[in-house]
């Protein structure tokens, strides 16, 4: 049984990562400022009170785990904390002696075409650009770490839906359908992350998921 720590487990993606991991017989620990936000009960789920911006608390929660999975995210206008969170997550994971880190990140840093990031395209919402830039800074922090990191970007559009288990995997380029749409359900994004945990294909690299 794999044991993992999930950060950001109270959010839309984090809750689905927890559910997916439990369904695959993982033992899950979740670190939250308010453990009641976990919204689930399970014999193999332990909700811990703590702050991921404190590396010591991340290290204590991650002790004995096989991997850390971060779904920490922020709303537009709050992105300045993403880089700091990335540093603390890396530091805490390393201090716990855990080598494997999977991060659910943003889509804005993907390339819409060769050499052109999605965040730099004319139609990208200007109000989301600062958050996308913060994700780019956080990505560089993970990429420079000595951990066995993986950075997973969703499609351009992600929302709660249903788990189909039927999606496509890309690397640096935004994945779109025949009509140019890029979307994924939070459930299938979570499934792709746990797939990577079960069968690593992107150690020290990134991937993206879309229909």
Q: What is the pTM of this model?
A: 0.95
pLDDT score at 77:
64
**β-strands 168-170, 205-210 pairing:** antiparallel
Question: Phi and psi dihedrals of 151, rounded to 5?
Answer: -110, 120
pLDDT score at 1:
86
pLDDT score at 79:
67
Which one, of 56, 52, 42, 57, lies nearest residue 1 by Cα? 42
Question: CATH number for the 3-210 domain, one of 3.40.190.10, 3.30.1490.20, 3.30.420.40, 3.40.50.720?
Answer: 3.40.50.720
Helices (H), 103-185: 129-144
All structural domains of the chain with their residue ranges: 3-210
pLDDT score at 36:
86
Paired with 30 in beta bridges are: 6, 47
Q: H helices then E strands: how many in the chain?
A: 5, 12
Paired with 13 in beta bridges are: none
Question: Phi and psi dihedrals of 97, rounded to 5?
Answer: 80, 15
Which one, of 133, 105, 104, 100, lies nearest residue 119 by Cα? 133
117 SS3 class: strand
Which one, of 181, 157, 152, lies nearest residue 169 by Cα? 152
pLDDT score at 24:
96
DSSP 177-203: -TTS--EEEHHHHHHHHHHHHHS---T
Across the chain, which has 211 residues, the per-10-residue mean pLDDT values are 95 96 97 87 94 96 98 77 95 98 97 96 93 95 98 97 98 96 98 98 98 97
142 SS3 class: helix
pLDDT score at 74:
79
Give buried/exposed letters for 136-164 (b at 16+ CB in 10 A, else e): bebbebbeebebebbbbbbbbebeeeebe
């Amino acid at each position: 049984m794999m044991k993992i720590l999930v950060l950001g487990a109270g959010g839309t993606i984090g809750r689905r990562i927890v559910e997916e991991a439990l369904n695959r017989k993982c033992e899950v620990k979740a670190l939250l400022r308010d453990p009641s936000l976990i919204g689930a009960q399970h014999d193999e789920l332990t909700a811990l009170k703590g702050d991921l911006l404190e590396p010591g608390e991340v290290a204590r929660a991650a002790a004995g785990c096989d991997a850390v999975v971060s779904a920490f995210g922020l709303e537009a206008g709050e992105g300045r904390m993403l880089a700091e969170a990335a540093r603390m997550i890396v530091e805490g994971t390393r201090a716990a002696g855990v080598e494997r880190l999977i991060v659910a990140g943003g889509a804005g840093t993907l390339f819409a075409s060769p050499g052109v990031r999605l965040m730099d395209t004319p139609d990208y919402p200007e109000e989301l650009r600062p958050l996308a830039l913060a994700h780019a800074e956080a990505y560089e922090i993970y990429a420079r770490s000595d951990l066995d990191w993986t950075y997973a970007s969703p499609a351009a559009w992600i929302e709660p839906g249903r788990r189909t288990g039927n999606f496509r995997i890309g690397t640096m380029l935004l994945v779109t359908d025949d009509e140019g749409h890029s979307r994924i359900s939070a459930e299938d994004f979570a499934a792709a992350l746990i797939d990577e945990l079960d069968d690593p294909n992107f150690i020290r690299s990134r991937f993206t998921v879309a229909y």
